[in-house]
Amino acid sequence: MTIATITEGFSLQDFIANPPEHKEWVDGELVETTGMTTRHSFIQCRLARYWGNYDIECDRGGEVAVELPCRTQRQGRRPDVWGAFQFRI
- Helices marked H in 1-89: 12-17, 38-58
Q: Give the pLDDT of residue 68.
A: 80
Number of domains in the chain: 1
45 lies in some domain:
yes
Sheet holding 23-26, edge to edge: 2-6, 29-34, 23-26, 76-77, 70-71
Phi, psi of 69 (to 5 degrees): -60, 130
Give the C-alpha separation, 67 to 80, whole Å: 5
50 lies in some domain:
yes
Q: Which domain holds residue 32?
A: 2-84
46 lies in some domain:
yes
pLDDT tens track for 44-83: 999 999 989 988 898 878 888 888 888 888 888 888 888 8
89 lies in some domain:
no
CATH code for the domain in which residue 14 is found: 3.90.1570.10
Considering the chain, what percentage of its residues have pLDDT values greater than 70? 85
- Name the helix (H) or strand (E) containing 30: strand 29-34
Q: What's the predicted TM-score (pTM) here?
A: 0.61
